[in-house]
Amino acid sequence: MFYVPLSKNSSATAMDVSKLIQKKVGPDVICKQAIECVNVVEGKRYLRYAAIIEKNDEQSVFVFMANRVPCLQSGDLSLECVIPIDAQLRCHAEDDSSSQRSMQIAAPPKQGNEKGDIRLALKSSCADIILEMPKNENSTLFLAEVTRARDLQTQSLAFGEIPTFSWLEPFRLQCTQGNPAGSAGSRASCSSSGVPNSNDSQNPFADDTFDPLKHMNLQNTGTKVMASDVGISRTTWFEDDLTSLSLKPPEMLNASRKSVSSNSLDKILDDADGFTDSMLSLEKQFGISPSVEMPVGSKPPTSREKFVRQILSERDDEFTNQTTFRVFCGTWNVNGQSPAEALHKWMVVDNDAPDIYAICFQELDLSKEAFIFTDSQKETEWQNAVKAYLHPKASYRKVKSIRLIGVLLIVYIQEKHVPYVKFIDADSVPTGIMGFLGNKGGVSVRMMLHSSSLCFVNCHLAAHQNESERRVQDYHDILAKTRFKQFDPPLCISEHDVIFWIGDMNFRIDLPNDEVRTCIRQGKLKKLLEQDQLSKLMKSGGDVFKGFEEGIPQFDPTYRFDAGTDVYDSSEKNRIPAWCDRILWQGPDIQILRYDSHPHLKVSDHKPVSALFNTKIRVIDQKRYKRVYEDIMKKMDRVENDYLPQIKLDKTEIVFNDVKFIEAQSTVVTIANVGQVPVEFQFINKLDDTTYCRPWLKATPSQAIISAGACCEVTVEVYVDKSSVARLNAGEEKMEDILVLHLTGGKDSFITVSGNYLISSFGSSIEALVQLHGPIREVPVADLIEIEKPGSLSRVDIAQDGGRLYMVPKEIWKMVDFLHQHALDMDELFQQPGRNSEIQFIRDCLDTGRPEQISGNLCVHSVAEALLLFLECLAQPVIPYEYYTQCLTSSNNLLLSKQIVSSLPDCHKNVFLYLCCFLRELLMHDEHNGLDIKFLSTMFGEVMLRQPPKPNTGTPSNPSSSSSSAKVREATAKERRSRLRDEEAKKAAFVYHFLSHEIDF
């Protein structure tokens, strides 16, 4: 063995040797690429040739030794080792040019390699090898091809396609034994695929982070479903950051390393799980104190301090300067693909480096496993790609990243601005079916920069041409439900100075397909924009994206293309092109500089979109701030001695009529400040209560400061959801409450709220529903309350009353029967959300005795979501609360699980078996509906097995806390998340028994 320095023209050398390798391996396989490299073993370096060999869509890395240099014929090459490129292969690539080596040199040192090398570590269950290759285009292509091949295998494995690599066996026999590199490693524990031998190939959960089948201990029953203690193991030797090197052009590798900092703000300040940043850590890092925004855990300000802050915010023009910051926003629906192209033409659109990057992805991971909130390798790949392609003229630090299944938002800021960033927080809102699935939804990141608050939102709204109503519904859900809980009270999106709303909004063009495509070819984009759904909604003056602006798209619609081409959809579905991918903004003094699409990136069926803005940020002048502050304090001293706060309410009694489940009603209460000083009000808790109002009631805003002579409108809303419907149905709670309006330094006022609640079958008990023969609205309230009492079914004398009991509630039967007739072959069943208006219509049909109106005119997804909502709202879940712990404990055993179900009350047992029978029939049509047993067992495990509610201790929470108590809360939160994930897996395993076996009782 001897060492030979790498050639400067390694690309040409590899091209020559690839012909010799092709001849060496024979005509049955294809040598796709070859490269000259060295094998690093115990500090010594040996000349090698690495090649990517392909057969039957399976690829492998072959490493050859050279018997003489240069190689003149195929006989000069000897095969040293074979490494299958499968899902278990782990790669690590790094630029070795700046590292200091302390190696033993087996031959003269390298010459002429000032640019440095790339070191590639390949590790699988069968091999462990380090290859060093010159930094040039051929090496970049080699690394990219390895990444692409591995990702393809990962996707195939997710769908149950396990590679065999049986064609490698003859080549393994040729491998040189006893070589000094020892790279081939042991093959004793590997199959021909390089995957450890296992009998778990039928385990659909085996690749999940939390495998429900780990809790099973099924024996061989002769059925096709088998489970063992563990599934296929996942090796995690080191972080896989191959992408960051493999996809960059060689000339940009050094520049990219200079442009990215080694640490990021979320890694410094955040906990390991990527949840919201600890304010204590933030304050320690930046040395800041609370400003107008109050984070949870900070010492509450006095009333005087609040007034001062309010007046300061009104006079901020006197002590702030407007400084221009450049903000880059980008969005790309990547259709589940891995980064396979250079991103610099998308992310670097100007010579001047942006101060802030907000990069948004949708459909990051399309695997079925991703729908149940598991980790995703795709996130790591795209995070690395983004980091590598930030503007080369600046150094950046990651502020925060947050992912909801396939929706990923990454925010970077220039290193020089880091000391002025504070109060970082993030939140996510799934808008998939029942809010349980995150296949659609939004993620948000907010921060304070100097004295301005910024919020970035990445959304993926409902798809399909005719679903504009659902897209609007998704927008309102994200806007209403996003809460940055680091603050007390939590902040919402609209409470920020600058907002960027980005993403795949899925709005379409209301024109025929042929006309749209003709306009695109003729460049008549203005005509298309006039029929663009989003443009029409924003111009209508309604409440959809109210106050937001958008640049005029001067580029062709960005959806939908045949992947890898610039050709609009030519598939059977032949979708109409549309501007699905949009970037909107809201805030003063924002100037859009560019609004572009980037059609040269072709890996997805969408084209990425970018926008560049000049944004004015308020920067405090400390000297002027001090003068204004002193002036305010002097005036406050004079005013406090002369005046007391006074208000007037336009109403003190509110009555809501005919309140229905999941249908909001609201009214406005106007609070007028009739005094001479600013007034601070807040709705406060009543004695022994933990909140200021009942769960079905909300006042917005719940606290505010009103200037002298001004008014504040408070929206009082009632909304009965799944958390409160059961108590209202059972008569355990009445729709009555009193809001206590507290004035700081003044007297309290009281607002009484009452309503007429219409009892619904949603939220009733199975025990009560099987006794009802007519619609629930026609039953006297007193009778309903009586049959809702526990044990009411045991007091029914059927013989004496001359009645009968239903096997299952007629409401459940009607919805299941509808799905059985119309949805057995429906794609994405139980994955797409329904329409709110239709779910409310279904509720009314079931409650008023009009079930026949639940007909084929309704959207199948609305009925599916209504069924799940009905099950989730049951006063006692399908598996009653008292059996919950037993079910989790026995989830590892089919026989014990069967015994528990057989012991359930008859009405609950009948519903459980009826639903399982229906789900098994759905699985018989999986070729058409795309459902699998793992997904259904997880989904229905959540709604049929619910954790018993915890008793209310009545102890109010204290927002103030010390550093130690904050750490305790963070540790408790991590422990709780871990426990919930474990329980979720066990619930899925319990239901899985009854979906995979047809069991007789």
Domain range list for the chain: 11-248, 263-291+320-620, 647-757, 813-950+965-996
Dig out the tokens for 266 from the structure: 């979320």
pLDDT, tens only, 505-551: 999 999 999 999 999 999 999 999 999 999 999 999 888 999 999 99
Q: What is the pLDDT of residue 231?
A: 32
Q: What is the pLDDT of residue 90?
A: 82
Q: What is the pLDDT of residue 122?
A: 87
Non-local CB neighbours of 528 within 8 Å, separated by 6+ positions: 509, 511, 516, 519, 520, 557
DSSP 376: -
- Given a contact cutoff of 8 angstroms between Cβ atoms, the answer to whether 326 and 612 are in contact is yes
Q: What is the pLDDT of residue 119?
A: 84
pLDDT, tens only, 604-628: 999 999 999 999 999 999 889 889 9
The Cβ of residue 526 has, within 10 Å, a number of other Cβ atoms equal to 9
SS3 category, 93 = strand
Q: Where are the alpha helices (DSSP H) in 445-491?
A: 468-481
DSSP 88: T
- Given a contact cutoff of 8 angstroms between Cβ atoms, the answer to whether 718 and 710 are in contact is no
Which candidate, 397, 402, 395, places its Cα nearest to that of 353?
Answer: 395
Non-local CB neighbours of 491 within 8 Å, separated by 6+ positions: 293, 425, 446, 483, 484
Q: What is the pLDDT of residue 228?
A: 30
Instruction: Point out the residues of the chain with pLDDT beneath 50.
Output: 1-12, 14, 98-115, 177-263, 267-292, 297, 373, 799-800, 802, 953-963
- Given a contact cutoff of 8 angstroms between Cβ atoms, the answer to whether 921 and 415 are in contact is no
Q: What is the pLDDT of residue 152?
A: 76
Q: What is the pLDDT of residue 747?
A: 86
SS3 category, 634 = helix
Dihedrals φ, ψ of 988, to 5°? -65, -40
Q: Side by side, which strands form the sheet with 396-404?
A: 396-404, 407-414, 356-362, 320-333, 609-620, 590-597
The Cβ of residue 711 has, within 10 Å, a number of other Cβ atoms equal to 14
Dig out the tokens for 767 from the structure: 């025990």
SS3 category, 442 = strand
Distances in Å between the Cα of 839 and the Cα atoms of 98, 268, 591, 657, 893 are 62, 45, 42, 21, 37
Q: What is the pLDDT of residue 375?
A: 66
Residue with tokens 């009905």: 870
Non-local CB neighbours of 542 within 8 Å, separated by 6+ positions: none
- Given a contact cutoff of 8 angstroms between Cβ atoms, the answer to whether 402 and 409 are in contact is yes
The Cβ of residue 25 has, within 10 Å, a number of other Cβ atoms equal to 22
CA separation for the pair 984, 978 (Å, rounded): 10
| Element at 52 (helix H, strand E) | strand 44-55
> In the CATH scheme, what is the code of domain 647-757?
2.60.40.10
CA separation for the pair 65, 46 (Å, rounded): 9
Q: What is the pLDDT of residue 302?
A: 64
Spell out a b/e string for 329-349, using b for 16 or more CB atoms within 10 Å of the CB, else e.
bbbbbbbbbbbbbbbbebbbb
* CATH architecture assignment, domain 263-291+320-620: 4-Layer Sandwich (3.60)
Q: What is the pLDDT of residue 155?
A: 64
Q: What is the pLDDT of residue 283?
A: 37
Dig out the tokens for 438 from the structure: 């995150």
SS3 category, 619 = strand
Distances in Å between the Cα of 124 and the Cα atoms of 141, 150, 233 are 21, 12, 12
Strands 356-362 and 441-449: unpaired
Concatenate the DSSP letters of all residues of 527-595 into one string: HHHHTBHHHHHHHTTSSSSTT-EEPPP-S---B-B-TTSS-B--SSS-PPPB--EEEEEESTTEEEEEE
* CATH architecture assignment, domain 11-248: Roll (2.30)
Q: Which class in CATH covers the domain with range 813-950+965-996?
A: mainly alpha
Q: What is the pLDDT of residue 88?
A: 80
Non-local CB neighbours of 867 within 8 Å, separated by 6+ positions: 812, 815, 816, 819
Which pairs with CB-CB distance under 8 Å and at least 24 residues apart come from 288-293?
288/422, 291/422, 291/448, 291/451, 293/423, 293/448, 293/453, 293/487, 293/491
CA separation for the pair 463, 442 (Å, rounded): 14
CA separation for the pair 261, 397 (Å, rounded): 6
- Given a contact cutoff of 8 angstroms between Cβ atoms, the answer to whether 661 and 356 are in contact is no
Dihedrals φ, ψ of 312, to 5°? -60, -40
Q: What is the pLDDT of residue 188?
A: 36
DSSP 196: B
Largest pairwise CA distance in the chain: 103
